[in-house]
Amino acid sequence: MRCPEPYVRRVNYYETDKMAIVHHSNYIRWFEEAREDFVRKAGIDYEQIEANGILMAVVGVSCEYKYSARYGDIVVIETRPVLFNGVRLNFEYIVREQESGRVLVTGKSSHCFLGEDTRRPLNLERRMPEYCKILTGLLAETGGDK
């Protein structure tokens, strides 16, 4: 299974702050956009997961800021799954400015599948085996941990 193409998007004016750079909180939102784009392109419909009564809760995020994205920039976000064991799913991200290719920001997020009703951890394997297969395949492709 080939990893999906990176996610590309423009910087919005409302994402800048008075330092004339993108406010640091927005990269966390871009990670979410990139992650959803990544799984969508791989054939996973996050809405369908939720329709099955499963939530993908965010357990942790981190972000390292090297350079600032600015209004007018187009950014390219690479998403890479680095761990998947049925219950936990971790991603890493690299945000680049498209024109220069310069790395602006890197980050990580870790997730846990929960029952919507119970709000307790749940193994995706039993409930959505086809999606597990896709995630395992992507992980093998990118060299992440099981």
Catalytic residue check, 17 = yes
102 touches its own copies by CB under 8 A: no
Written in H, E and C, the secondary structure of the chain is CCCCCCEEEECCHHHECCCCCECCCHHHHHHHHHHHHHHHHCCCCHHHHHHCCEEEEEEEEEEEECCCCCCCCEEEEEEEEEEECCCEEEEEEEEEECCCCCEEEEEEEEEEEEECCCCCECCHHHHCHHHHHHHHHHHHHHCCEC
Please select the residue that binds its own copies; options are 4, 36, 41, 98, rule is CB under 8 A: 36
- Binding to its own copies (CB under 8 A): which residues in 44-83? 46-47, 55, 57-65, 71-72
24 touches its own copies by CB under 8 A: yes
Number of residues that bind its own copies (CB under 8 A): 32
For its own copies, the closer CB: 25 or 123:
25
23 touches its own copies by CB under 8 A: yes
Which residues are catalytic, by number?
17
